[in-house]
C-alpha cells in the first residue's frame, strides 16, 4: 500500500502511476497468482482441507504467500523511476524467478526447519538460499516501501553482526552473517514474524474487503449520504468531508486513498462555499487521517497490535471508539466555528441528493457494514467476518446495483487486490527483519531499561519521549514499521512505568499517525493540496491546526483508561463529558469563535490572550485529573471555570445587552 517513498500504508490503486503497465500475459499470470494466494488464505481460515493428508503449517503457508505476492513486486514495480513503464527488464525476470525458487525451496524444507531447528544452526546448502532470500526481501521492501524504509530495514537487519561493538544503550549479542541469515529467514521472529503472521492470519480478508468496497462504489455512496445529511448546513461541504472520509476510512483503513477519492468531490465543494484552498485541503487531510483511527477497520497496524498484545482485534476496535469520536468531534466543532465566524452557508438543498434516494441506491453498503459489526463484536469471528462481508457485498452488487461488474471489472478487482496484497506482503515481511534483528540480539530488553533510566523513572517524561520518538519514526518509516519497532523497544517501558498495555500501544499508534498531517512530511495534507491547488506547506499547517486534538487525545487515554472503556460506566460518562466540554473550548479558541459568545477576534488587541485563556481552560477540563496529574478533576474544573468567567464575562454581557448586527447566526451546528 504505497504512495511515496516515506509512507506505504495506502492501497495500491492510489499509486498506479508507480506501477508498470503489464501486458495481457503478465496480467493473466498475476490474476492466477492472486487467486491462488486468496485460495490459500480461505483454505487456512475456513479449514477447508484442500490438501488431503497434508497439514499446511504456518511457515509453509507464509512462504507460499511470499512466493506468490513478493515475486510480483519485481514485475509490478520498476526498480527506478527511469525504468521502462511497460517492459519487464531481464534483471526483474531474474528476481521474479529467484523469489519463486528460494521461497519454493523453503516451502519444501518447512518440516525440517521446524524439526531440526535450522534457525539456530542450518547446513551450508540452506544458508546460501537464505542469503538470496534476505537480499530479495530488502529489494522488495525498497520497491514497495521506498528508500527511507529500505535504509532503516537494511541497517537494522545487519545490526546483529556488530551488536557487541555498539555503545551501551544499543549494544547486544552479536551473530555471524550465516547465523543472522538463518535466523532472519527460518525463525518465527523475523521475516515470518509478527507482521507477516498478522497479514497471513488476519489482515488479508480486510484488505480484500477494502478493495471490494471501493470497486462497488462504496466511496460514492458515503459521499452522497454525507451530502444529503450535512450539505445544507453552514460549512456543509467541510462537514461532508468529515462524515464521508470518516466512514470510508473506517472501512478501507487508508489515508491517501481517502483523500484522493472523497477529496475529489468535497474539496471543490468547500472552495465553492468560501473555504480557502489550503483550509479545504487541511479539512480533507484531517478527516481522512481520522478515518484510519476509527473502527471497525483501522488499517494493518491495528491488526498487528492485536497479535502483539495477544488479544482479539475487536478489543482494540472497541477501545478506539471514544478517542476517534473525540477527534472527529473536535474537527466538527472547529469547522462549524470557522463557518460561523466567516458566514459560510451550506449548499442549496436542490443541488443535494435526497436522503431517501441515496439510501435506496446504497442500502447494501449499510447492510454489509451491519454484518461486519455483528460478526466482529457479537459473534467474535474477526478472521472470517471480512470474507462473509465481501461475498455479501459482491453478491448484492451483482444482483441489484447498476454498477454490477462485467468481466473487465472483475479482472480489475482481482488485479487491484493483487497489487495491494503484493505491496503489503513485501513491506510487512521486510519489516519483520527489524523484529528479527532486535530479537536475536536481545537489544529490546536492555533498551527498555535504558529508556526508563533516561526518563528518571518519570512516566510523564517517558510519555513525551515516546510521543517525540513515535512522531520521528512515523516521518521516516511507514506507520506500521514505526509501530512495530516501538512496540518492541518503547511499549514495554511505558507498561513498566505503570500504564495499561493497550493504552500504551494505542499511544504509539496515534503518534505514528500524526506525521500524516504534521509538516515537514504531512503526506495526507500534501495529497489534499494537490487536489485543492493550494500551497502544500500552508495546507500542512492548516491540517496541523485543525487536527490538533490528535496531539492530546493519546495522553488522555494513557492517563485515564476510561477513554478506552476500561472503567465503570459512570466514570466513563463523567470523564468523556468533561473531555467533550474541554474540546469545544480548545476548538473554539483555535478558530476564534465560541458558541454563546461569538467572535473572539473582534477585539484585536485582546484576542490572543483571550484565545489562549480559552484554550488553556479547555485543556484543563479535557485532561483527566489525578494519578500522574497533580490536580484532581474537581480542582481542574474550578480553575477552568474561574478562568473562563474572568475572560469571557465582558464579551457575554456585551452580547446579551446589545446583540451585534454582524454576529453570525448560531443555527447550523
pLDDT at 667: 41
Give tens-digit pLDDT for 610-643. Answer: 888 888 898 888 888 776 677 777 888 888 888 8
What 8-state DSSP symbol labels residue 643? H
Give tens-digit pLDDT for 176-190. Answer: 999 999 999 999 989
Dihedral of CA atoms 620, 625, 630, 631 in degrees, nearest 10, equals: 60
Residues in the chain: 669
Dihedral of CA atoms 491, 494, 496, 498 in degrees, nearest 10, equals: -140
Tell me the residue ranges of DSSP E strands in 373-532: none
pLDDT at 568: 92
pLDDT at 344: 84
Average of per-residue pLDDT across 645-669: 57
Give tens-digit pLDDT for 308-332. Answer: 898 998 899 999 999 999 999 999 9
* Residue 456, Cβ density class (10 Å: 0-12 exposed, 13-18 middle, ≥19 buried): exposed
Q: Which residues of 556-573 are buried (b: 16+ CB within 10 A; e: fewer)?
A: bbbbbbbbbbeeeeeebe
Give tens-digit pLDDT for 89-108. Answer: 999 999 999 999 999 999 99
Helix (H) or strand (E) holding 594: strand 593-594
For 593, phi and psi rounded to 5 degrees?
Answer: -150, 130
pLDDT at 668: 45
Tell me if 528 sits within 8 A of 285, measured CB to CB: yes
Helix (H) or strand (E) holding 543: helix 536-546
Spatial separation of the C-alpha atoms in residues 591 and 572, rounded to whole Å: 28
Lowest mean pLDDT among 46-60, 288-302, 655-669: 655-669
Give tens-digit pLDDT for 397-419. Answer: 888 877 789 999 999 999 999 99
Assigned C-alpha cell, 328: 472527529
Helix (H) or strand (E) holding 279: helix 277-293
Assigned C-alpha cell, 577: 463529558
Is the predicted pLDDT of residue 444 greater than 70, yes or no?
no
H helices present in 66-186, as ranges: 71-76, 90-108, 110-116, 124-145, 147-158, 177-186
pLDDT at 5: 34
% pLDDT > 90, the chain: 33
Give tens-digit pLDDT for 202-258. Answer: 889 988 998 898 888 887 888 888 888 888 888 888 888 888 887 777 666 667 777
pLDDT at 669: 43
pLDDT at 324: 92
What is the DSSP secondary-structure string of 169-220? GG------HHHHHHHHHHSTTTTTSHHHHHIIIIIHHHHHHHHHHHHTTHHH
pLDDT at 580: 93
Is the predicted pLDDT of residue 116 greater than 70, yes or no?
yes
pLDDT at 654: 60
* Residue 310, Cβ density class (10 Å: 0-12 exposed, 13-18 middle, ≥19 buried): exposed
Spatial separation of the C-alpha atoms in residues 10 and 248, rounded to whole Å: 13
pTM: 0.84
What is the DSSP secondary-structure string of 12-74? GGGGGGGS----HHHHHHHHHHHHHHHHHHHHHHHT---STT----HHHHHHHHIIIIIHHHH
Amino acid at each position: 500500500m504505497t504512495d511515496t517513498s516515506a509512507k506505504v500504508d495506502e492501497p495500491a490503486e492510489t499509486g498506479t502511476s508507480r506501477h508498470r503497465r503489464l501486458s495481457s500475459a503478465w496480467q493473466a499470470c498475476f490474476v492466477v497468482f492472486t487467486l491462488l494466494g486468496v485460495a490459500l488464505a480461505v483454505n487456512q481460515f475456513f479449514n477447508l482441507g484442500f490438501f488431503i493428508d497434508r497439514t499446511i503449517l504456518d511457515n509453509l503457508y507464509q512462504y507460499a504467500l511470499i512466493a506468490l505476492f513478493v515475486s510480483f513486486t519485481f514485475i509490478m514495480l520498476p526498480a527506478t523511476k527511469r525504468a521502462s513503464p511497460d517492459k519487464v527488464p531481464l534483471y526483474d525476470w531474474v528476481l521474479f524467478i529467484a523469489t519463486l525458487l528460494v521461497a519454493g525451496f523453503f516451502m519444501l524444507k518447512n518440516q525440517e526447519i521446524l524439526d531440526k531447528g535450522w534457525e539456530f544452526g542450518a547446513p551450508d546448502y540452506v544458508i546460501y538460499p537464505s542469503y538470496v532470500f534476505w537480499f530479495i526481501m530488502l529489494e522488495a521492501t525498497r520497491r514497495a516501501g521506498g528508500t527511507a524504509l529500505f535504509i532503516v530495514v537494511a541497517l537494522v537487519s545487519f545490526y546483529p553482526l556488530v551488536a557487541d561493538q555498539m555503545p551501551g544503550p544499543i549494544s547486544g549479542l552479536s551473530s555471524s552473517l550465516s547465523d543472522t541469515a538463518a535466523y532472519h529467514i527460518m525463525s518465527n521472529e523475523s521475516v515470518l514474524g509478527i507482521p507477516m503472521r498478522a497479514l497471513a492470519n488476519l489482515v488479508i480478508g480486510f484488505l480484500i474487503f477494502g478493495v471490494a468496497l471501493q470497486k462497488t462504489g462504496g466511496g460514492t455512496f458515503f459521499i452522497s449520504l454525507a451530502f444529503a445529511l450535512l450539505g445544507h448546513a453552514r460549512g456543509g461541504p467541510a462537514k461532508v468531508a468529515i462524515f464521508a472520509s470518516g466512514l470510508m476510512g473506517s472501512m478501507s483503513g487508508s489515508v491517501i486513498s481517502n483523500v484522493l477519492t472523497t477529496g475529489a468531490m468535497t474539496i471543490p465543494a468547500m472552495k465553492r462555499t468560501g473555504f480557502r484552498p489550503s483550509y479545504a485541503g487541511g479539512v480533507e487531510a484531517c478527516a481522512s487521517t481520522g478515518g484510519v483511527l476509527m473502527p471497525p477497520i483501522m488499517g494493518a497496524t491495528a491488526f498487528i497490535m492485536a497479535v502483539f498484545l495477544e488479544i482479539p482485534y475487536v478489543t482494540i476496535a472497541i477501545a478506539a471508539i471514544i478517542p476517534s469520536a473525540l477527534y472527529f468531534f473536535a474537527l466538527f466543532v472547529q469547522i462549524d466555528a470557522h463557518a460561523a465566524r466567516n458566514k459560510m452557508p451550506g449548499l442549496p438543498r436542490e443541488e443535494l441528493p435526497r436522503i431517501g434516494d441515496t439510501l435506496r441506491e446504497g442500502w447494501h453498503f449499510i447492510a454489509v457494514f451491519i454484518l461486519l459489526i455483528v460478526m466482529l463484536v457479537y459473534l467474535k469471528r474477526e478472521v472470517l467476518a471480512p470474507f462473509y462481508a465481501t461475498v455479501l457485498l459482491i453478491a448484492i452488487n451483482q444482483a441489484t446495483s447498476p454498477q454490477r461488474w462485467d468481466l473487465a471489472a472483475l479482472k480489475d478487482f482481482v488485479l487491484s487486490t493483487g497489487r495491494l496484497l503484493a505491496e503489503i506482503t513485501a513491506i510487512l515481511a521486510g519489516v519483520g527483519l527489524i523484529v528479527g534483528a532486535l530479537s536475536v540480539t536481545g537489544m529490546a530488553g536492555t533498551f527498555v531499561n535504558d529508556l526508563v533510566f533516561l526518563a528518571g523513572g518519570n512516566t510523564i517524561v517517558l510519555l513525551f519521549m515516546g510521543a517525540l520518538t513515535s512522531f520521528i519514526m512515523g516521518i521516516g518509516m511507514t506507520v506500521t514499521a514505526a509501530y512495530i519497532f516501538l512496540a518492541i523497544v518503547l511499549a514495554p517501558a511505558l507498561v513498566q512505568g505503570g500504564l495499561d498495555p493497550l493504552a500504551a500501544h494505542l499511544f504509539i499508534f496515534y503518534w505514528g499517525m500524526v506525521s500524516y498531517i504534521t509538516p515537514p512530511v504531512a503526506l495526507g495534507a500534501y495529497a489534499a493540496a494537490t487536489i485543492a491547488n493550494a500551497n502544500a506547506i500552508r495546507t500542512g499547517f492548516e491540517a496541523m491546526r485543525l487536527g490538533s486534538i490528535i496531539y492530546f487525545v493519546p495522553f488522555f487515554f494513557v492517563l485515564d483508561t476510561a477513554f478506552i472503556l476500561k472503567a465503570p460506566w459512570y466514570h466513563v460518562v463523567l470523564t468523556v463529558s468533561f473531555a467533550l466540554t474541554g474540546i469545544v473550548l480548545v476548538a473554539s479558541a483555535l478558530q476564534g469563535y465560541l458558541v454563546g459568545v461569538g467572535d473572539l477576534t473582534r477585539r484585536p488587541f485582546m484576542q490572543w490572550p483571550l484565545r489562549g485563556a480559552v484554550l488553556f481552560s479547555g485543556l484543563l477540563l479535557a485532561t483527566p485529573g489525578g494519578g500522574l496529574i497533580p490536580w484532581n478533576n474537581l480542582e481542574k474544573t474550578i480553575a477552568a471555570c474561574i478562568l473562563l468567567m474572568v475572560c469571557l464575562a465582558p464579551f457575554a454581557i456585551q452580547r446579551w445587552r446589545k446583540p451585534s448586527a454582524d454576529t453570525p447566526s448560531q443555527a447550523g451546528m
